[in-house]
């Protein structure tokens, strides 16, 4: 049998097998492809969530404590179908094998990361439900935020959609969100949720069907209207399924999977990761410029916590002199903030309040790198001792481009992280070898020499028998350092070294690490 006939036979067999497992909705190879694409999207969102302040602190050495079964449990289709039927919803939630695949992403493949989503839901869902209720929207639409951003207000998609509700620039502006070099209210969980509620309500006025509303939220009403026209004016999601953009075809199955996982995580032996997010917070309006670093250093609140509670301020500056802006603080710090208001503003104002020095972090700005069309995309895996400066030199690309392509905040990268790099196709063959080179070889490729003795000087050294010291090296983060020691938490290191912002540790800085029995 020829190779071509063999391929045809395999295609036919694959198609028949797909039909065998189909329920009331047609499932073919195209849908399976969409499922894989969306599974990757879910996985990417969950992976990015791990970098958020509260999640990173909580996951250090504790994530396995919340997994009764590290492998995950899979159930028969009949069980999934019966459970989905019991979820309260104004819309009928379907079930098919594609939805099962998405369920497995949350409950099997990415169960550890999903534990963090559950922990965040304790903080965000009550706020979302309260806002949706004020607009007369179904509370179950809150699951859209899970599939949009994994409840990460700093999430940024490959096309620039930003925040908890993944607003594009134009849509965010049209629904009243401020977006400029200092403030991006798409990242403000409260204001963005109000904007999302207004958008969803407008979509319901058009379609009067919640599933079509969810689909239109993903791909825009223009694409849904086009699919309706091309389907003979049919207005059922499954009737227009094949006329919708490919990514939207996986959106409803993903929504059902998220609803299932959020309701039945306990049956899969997953527990919410306890996050130390202050549930009791309050918002105060400021009408003068103030910087989060001023608040952090005067009041002793970790900078990471302030950024997590106020993600809309791209550089840390709250430009209240332009117009009154909200500042969210833990409730127990609000009184002290009011009492210390003048002290905070007078703390290093020349350093923190000079507008000309305030520029957005590259990964959060409107900086546009050179067009990557026609370039070859390479993937570099971060090794021990690497930093963004080295990588940009090795591939001869600018540091700003490197940050932009990978949505990297500041210069922090971690060992094992995948870095995307776009290079001239004519040099792609040479650059593709860099990932497999030694550090010395990579340095030699740009005319520099490695310093092999450097590694010795960064080894921990015993001091006084009570603690050891560790000297920060290139590419280190607090979280990477803690992994090198047993029975030591990130909080221990931060407190022992009086560090309020763990992202500001410097190469050569000596850290004390308390020894534990």
pLDDT at residue 3 above 50?
A: no
- pLDDT, position 334: 87
Give, rounded to a whole angstrom, the gap between the first and last alpha carbons of the chain: 68
- pLDDT, position 388: 79
User: What average pLDDT does the segment 243-271 reach?
Assistant: 91
State in words which class domain 376-450 has.
alpha beta
Per residue in 463-514, pLDDT (tens digit) is 455 678 887 776 566 666 766 676 666 667 777 887 766 656 777 788 888 7
CATH value of 3-268 in 3.40.50.10490, 3.40.50.12170, 1.10.530.10, 3.30.70.20: 1.10.530.10
Examine domains 376-450 and 455-514 and report if their fold is the same: yes
- Please state the domain extents for the chain: 3-268, 281-360, 376-450, 455-514
pLDDT at residue 64 above 70?
A: no
pLDDT at residue 327 above 90?
A: yes
Say if residues 145 and 164 touch (Cβ distance below 8 Å). Answer: yes
State in words which class domain 455-514 has.
alpha beta
- pLDDT, position 62: 60
Say if residues 514 and 481 touch (Cβ distance below 8 Å). Answer: no
Q: How many CA atoms lie within 13 A of 299 on its CB side?
A: 27
- Its pTM stands at 0.62
Tell which phi-psi region holds residue 151, choosing left (phi > 0), alpha (psi between -120 and 50) or beta: left
Q: How far apart are CA 350 and CA 353, in angstroms?
A: 6
What is the per-residue DSSP string for 10-53? HHHHHHHHHHHT--SS---HHHHHHHHHHHHHHHHHHHHHTTSH
């Amino acid at each position: 049998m020829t190779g071509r006939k063999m391929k045809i036979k395999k295609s036919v067999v694959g198609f028949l097998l797909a039909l065998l497992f189909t329920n009331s909705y047609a499932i073919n190879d195209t849908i399976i492809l969409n499922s894989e694409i969306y599974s990757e999207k879910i996985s990417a969102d969950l992976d990015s969530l791990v970098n958020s302040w509260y999640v990173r602190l909580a996951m250090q050495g504790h994530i396995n404590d919340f997994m009764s079964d590290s492998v995950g449990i899979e159930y028969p289709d009949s069980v999934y179908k019966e459970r989905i039927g019991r979820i309260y919803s104004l819309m009928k939630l379907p079930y098919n094998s594609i939805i099962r695949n998405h369920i497995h992403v949350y409950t099997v493949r990415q169960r550890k990361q999903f534990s963090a989503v559950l922990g965040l839901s304790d903080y965000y869902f009550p706020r979302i439900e309260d806002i949706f209720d004020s607009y007369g929207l179904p509370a179950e639409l809150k699951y859209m935020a899970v599939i949009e951003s994994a409840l990460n207000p700093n999430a940024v998609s490959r096309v620039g959609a930003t925040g908890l509700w993944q607003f594009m620039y134009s849509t965010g502006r049209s629904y009243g969100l401020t977006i400029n070099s200092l403030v991006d209210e798409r990242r403000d969980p409260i204001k963005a949720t109000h904007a999302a509620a207004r958008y969803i309500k407008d979509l319901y006025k058009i379609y009067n069907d919640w599933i079509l509303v969810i689909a239109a939220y993903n791909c825009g009403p223009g694409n849904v209207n086009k699919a309706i026209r091309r389907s003979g004016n049919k207005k059922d999601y499954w009737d227009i399924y094949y006329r919708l953009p490919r990514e939207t075809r996986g959106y409803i199955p993903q929504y059902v999977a998220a609803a299932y996982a959020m309701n039945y995580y306990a049956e899969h032996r997953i527990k919410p990761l306890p996050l130390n997010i202050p549930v009791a917070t309050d918002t105060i309006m400021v009408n003068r410029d103030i910087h989060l670093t001023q608040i952090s250093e005067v009041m002793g609140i970790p900078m990471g916590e302030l950024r997590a509670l106020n993600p809309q301020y791209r550089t840390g500056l709250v430009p209240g002199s332009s117009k009154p802006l909200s500042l969210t603080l833990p409730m127990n710090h609000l009184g002290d903030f009011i009492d210390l208001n003048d002290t905070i503003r007078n703390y290093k104002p020349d350093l923190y309040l000079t507008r000309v020095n305030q520029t957005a972090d590259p990964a959060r700005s409107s900086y546009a790198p050179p067009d990557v069309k026609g370039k070859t995309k390479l993937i570099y895996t971060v090794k021990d001792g690497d930093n963004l400066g080295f990588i940009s030199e090795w591939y001869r690309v600018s540091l700003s481009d490197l940050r932009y392509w990978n949505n990297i905040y500041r210069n922090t990268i971690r060992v094992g992280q995948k870095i995307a790099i776009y290079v001239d196709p004519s040099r792609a063959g040479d650059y593709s070898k860099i990932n497999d080179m030694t550090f010395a070889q990579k340095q030699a490729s740009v005319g520099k020499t490695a310093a092999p003795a450097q590694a010795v000087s960064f080894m921990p050294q015993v001091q006084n028998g009570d603690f050891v010291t560790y000297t920060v090296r290139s590419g280190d983060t607090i979280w990477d350092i803690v992994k090198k020691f047993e029975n030591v938490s990130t909080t221990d290191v931060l407190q022992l070294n009086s560090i309020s912002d763990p992202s500001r540790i410097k190469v050569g800085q000596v850290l004390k690490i308390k020894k534990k029995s």
